[in-house]
Amino acid sequence: MSKIIVEVFGPGCAKCKALKHNAEEALEKLGWNDAELRYITNVEEYIERGIASTPALAVNGKVILSGKYLPTDNLVELLQKY
């Protein structure tokens, strides 16, 4: 299995930072110790990726959440689908 890459996109606002924090906790709860978490604050990069609303979350390049923040337990459920 290839390495899982989870990306959080946002300009650094409170909700974006909270999503990053909750993503870290979700990865830990899932036991995805080898997953790489990236926090992307470069506006050009997330616009290039087609993300119009932040915070956003992508798994292995696929955007799975955009424009909202989720609590840790909801992120665990969402990430389990990917």
Instruction: Write out pLDDT tens, residues 22-54.
Output: 999 999 999 999 999 999 999 999 889 999 999
Residue 81 has pLDDT above 60, yes or no: yes
pLDDT at residue 63, as a whole number: 95
Across the chain, what does the average pLDDT equal? 94
Q: What is the pTM of this model?
A: 0.92
Average pLDDT over residues 47-73: 94
CATH of 5-80, one of 3.30.420.40, 3.40.50.1370, 3.30.70.270, 3.40.30.10: 3.40.30.10
**14/29 Cα distance (integer angstroms):** 22
DSSP string, 29-71: HHT-TT-EEEEE--HHHHHHTT--SSSEEEETTEEEEES----
